[in-house]
Chain A
Amino acid sequence: DGGITQSPKYLFRKEGQNVTLSCEQNLNHDAMYWYRQDPGQGLRLIYYSQIVNDFQKGDIAEGYSVSREKKESFPLTVTSAQKNPTAFYLCASSLFGDRGRGGYTFGSGTRLTVV
């Protein structure tokens, strides 16, 4: 079955470390997104990519970086510049050119904790 796989499910980071969250999809979707979820704050868009080798900053991109070298993959790196990285991170994907009518497909999330 097609879907989005995020890994790992739980991740622990030490102060000053960079960590990379994986997101892979086999839905043949062109667009991919990263969201951060904190309790009581809903979803906040970090980065998105609508096509391979191109990506755009979302509302809270500072301290994060992404790459989109393959259509199927959109990894997110949480850098040491992100001062409060503890959160639940969600990856999503959607079709290109359907004017949004299909909505998004989400992965099951990665919970990142700073120790």
Chain B
Amino acid sequence: GDSVTQMEGPVTLSEEAFLTINCTYTATGYPSLFWYVQYPGEGLQLLLKATKADDKGSNKGFEATYRKETTSFHLEKGSVQVSDSAVYFCALTDTETGANSKLTFGKGITLSVRP
């Protein structure tokens, strides 16, 4: 079945550091890929997405590029802020398995940014 693998956490960075959070996937078809963010005590919010190979999703300074050849969708940000402290989830839908594919989530990774 489809799966998403995220790097182990937690991750702690200093403010203005460069961020990379790795995400790789296994899917039988051609998935859409997503990054969600969860701030403490809240639900998940869609951060960015990409629906086909080589697409780059971007939002709030975060970027991720859909790499079909390496089955990856790594999240990057050039300069993190304290307000970026949250849990980040990578997810996919396999768009070949039907019109109403469910999302498969990674386990999530906690990012803490120090002032």
Contacts of B100 in A (CB 8 A): 30-31, 50, 94, 96-97, 99-100
- Residues A108 and B51 in contact, CB atoms below 8 Å apart: no
Q: Mark B101-115, 1 if CB is under 8 A from A, else 0.
A: 111011110000000
**B89 close to A100 (CB less than 8 A):** no
Binding stretch for chain B, among A11-19, A40-48, A70-78, A79-87: A40-48
Is there an interface contact between B32 and A104, defined as CB atoms closer than 8 Å? no
CA of A104 to CA of B43, assembled, Å: 11
Could you say which residues of chain A place their CB within 8 Å of the CB of B91?
Answer: 103
- CB of A108 within 8 A of CB of B43, answer yes
Quick one: which of A41, A90, A96, A100 contacts B43, CB cutoff 8 A?
Answer: A90
Question: Are B103 and A97 closer than 8 Å at their CB atoms?
Answer: no
With an 8 Å Cβ cutoff, the count of chain B residues facing the other chain is 27
| A100, B93: Cβ atoms closer than 8 Å | yes
Set A6, A45, A97: member contacting B99, Cβ < 8 A: A97
Max count, chain B CB within 10 A of own CB: residue among A42, A98, A107, A108: A42
With an 8 A cutoff between CB atoms, is A64 at the interface? no
Known: A100-B93, A103-B91. 12 other contacts (CB 8 A): A6-B43, A30-B100, A33-B102, A42-B89, A42-B107, A90-B44, A97-B99, A100-B102, A101-B49, A103-B103, A106-B43, A108-B43
Q: Top 3 closest A-B pairs, CB basis?
A: A100-B93, A106-B43, A100-B101
B residues contacting A by CB (< 8 A) are: 31-32, 34, 36, 41-46, 49, 51, 89, 91, 93-95, 98-103, 105-108
Could you list which residues of chain A lie within 8 angstroms of chain B, going by C-beta atoms?
4, 6, 30-31, 33, 40-43, 45, 48, 50, 90, 92, 94, 96-101, 103-109, 111
